[in-house]
Amino acid sequence: MTLAGRTALITGAGGGIGTAVARAFAAAGADLSLADIQPVTALADEMRATGRRVLDTPTDVTQSSQVNALVQATLKALGRIDVLVNVAGTVSFGPAETLAEAEWERVLAVNLKGTFLCCQAVIGPMRAKKYGRIINIGSILGKNGGNARPWLDAGEQANASNVAYGVSKAGVHAMTMFLSRELANAGITVNAVAPGPIASAMTQNFPQRLRDLIPVGRMGNADDVARACLFLADESSGYITAEILDVNGGMWGD
């Protein structure tokens, strides 16, 4: 797979998955526009050292003005946007009974609204080129109702992602399906990658008894997700759209 001559915009580039996607795409030959809430200077410098052209733009994806500015800055500096990978996201834990309204709104603003704003902002430039790959990051939790089993152990829910997170990711899956149909005749594919439990700073408290339920015997890692994104970003994947690609070690299949 090659992305030589392509430019990829990656949100949430400062996190584990975003960083892995950036490295995989740079290795495949892509120039990169990296966005996160804070600058990702070290990652940008690392990618430039590989010979890639790189833009680093701090961006709050919940703000349409900042997202639009990011897209315009990318077009000005790098000339095009061929691939968008929406990694920017946040997590939330605990039971629905005590979930604060502000927390619900925060999670949906980042995970769902932010993903939509980024998708919306690249449609015009991609239509103009009659080519595009949009890859959203969903989740197994948008499909399976959550990993926790509170009927067996109420404590599992406290350390498991909650209903706000699951709803936000289910919305990302639905968005992917809608946009794939709307944009198919413009040469733009829209897919999602739905990871299962991924080892990261955010999953340090993932209970061992839930880890033991993963059929392949381990948690996933960021590179597992990045490789799936690279596959969907490749030009040869143009007949694949509306796919929610599970990367979960066998925890869920459909």
The answer to whether 173 and 244 have CB atoms below 8 angstroms apart is yes
Terminal-residue alpha carbon distance, the chain? 26
**How far is residue 31's CA from residue 53's CA, in Å, rounded to a whole number?**
5
Spatial CA neighbour of 119 closest among 137, 103, 105, 102: 137
User: What angle in degrees, to the nearest 10, is found between the helix axes of 101-108 and 163-183?
Assistant: 30
**How far is residue 18's CA from residue 218's CA, in Å, rounded to a whole number?**
21
165 is catalytic: yes
Burial class (CB in 10 A: 0-12, 13-18, 19+), 93: middle
Which element (helix H / strand E) includes 33?
Answer: strand 31-36
The answer to whether 79 and 8 have CB atoms below 8 angstroms apart is no
**How far is residue 217's CA from residue 49's CA, in Å, rounded to a whole number?**
36
**With the C-alpha atoms ordered 205, 207, 211, 213, is the resulting torsion angle positive or negative?**
negative
* Catalytic-role residue among 116, 131, 165, 206: 165
**Token pair of 175 as six digits:** 């968005």
**How far is residue 125's CA from residue 132's CA, in Å, rounded to a whole number?**
9
Residues acting as catalytic residues: 165
